[in-house]
A and B are shown apart, each in its own frame.
Chain A
Amino acid sequence: GAVVSQHPSWVICKSGTSVKIECRSLDFQATTMFWYRQFPKQSLMLMATSNEGSKATYEQGVEKDKFLINHASLTLSTLTVTSAHPEDSSFYICSAKQQRHEQFFGPGTRLTVL
């Protein structure tokens, strides 16, 4: 099946710093990528949908200036958490899909902000 990678798999940073998370589709071109956030013992909540070459569409309540998403190519999307704070600590998961195909999930990135 299709493979989606995320880097880094975990990151610890100080409050106030910015963190970039990469999501790559390794063996297919992803027309759409999705970014989810998951708190412990909770479900995945969609943060934003990004299509290659266009601005991301953010879900209600998600600050686009806080969570910068760039989908510069058909195989790479990045999520940058700007000026991270402890409440941003979470598990971030991306997924990617080709046209007319299902979503494939990355392994997730665990962010801890001290």
Chain B
Amino acid sequence: AQKITQTQPGMFVQEKEAVTLDCTYDTSDQSYGLFWYKQPSSGEMIFLIYQGSYDEQNATEGRYSLNFQKARKSANLVISASQLGDSAMYFCAMREGTTGSARQLTFGSGTQLTVLP
């Protein structure tokens, strides 16, 4: 079974509007972390936001917020006030275990976001 599922291969959004990128995950661990990364065409992986499994509040970082619904095992990324520079591939990822564990990140298949002027 896929550990991280991103069902939207591509998304379009109008500049200045908000967009939600979907991510669902599958784990039997009680302790885990969820991440979103942005990968522009240059290839670098840019960390956006993190949500720990025990965090009660949804994470926010500037225009990025994570809609964490633990019971549904979803961790959707919301980008508010989209900008042209937001056009990129977005990956959802999960690390099972605690922060100190050496476990690797498991990535979803990604969503290509295009912001239209």
Give the interface of A toward B (CB within 8 A). 1, 31-32, 34, 41-46, 49, 51, 91, 93, 95, 97, 99-105, 107-108, 110
Contact = CB atoms under 8 A, between A and B. Distances in A.
A93 B104 contact: no
Interface residues of B, number: 21
Q: Which 5 A-B residue pairings sit nearest by Cβ, starting from the closest?
A: A105-B45, A100-B100, A108-B43, A43-B107, A107-B44
A34 B47 CA distance: 16
Interface in B41-70: 42-45, 47, 50
A44 B91 contact: yes
What is the predominant secondary structure among interface residues of chain B facing chain A? loop
B45 A93 contact: yes
Given A102-B50, A102-B99, A107 B43 contact: yes
B105 interface: yes
Interface of B: 33, 35, 37, 42-45, 47, 50, 91, 99-100, 102, 104-110, 112
A106 B110 CA distance: 19
* Most chain A beta carbons < 10 A, residue from B99, B102, B110: B102
A107 B42 CA distance: 8
A101 B100 CA distance: 7
A91 B35 CA distance: 21
A31 B103 CA distance: 12
B22 to A, nearest CB: 15
Contacts of B47: 1, 102, 104-105
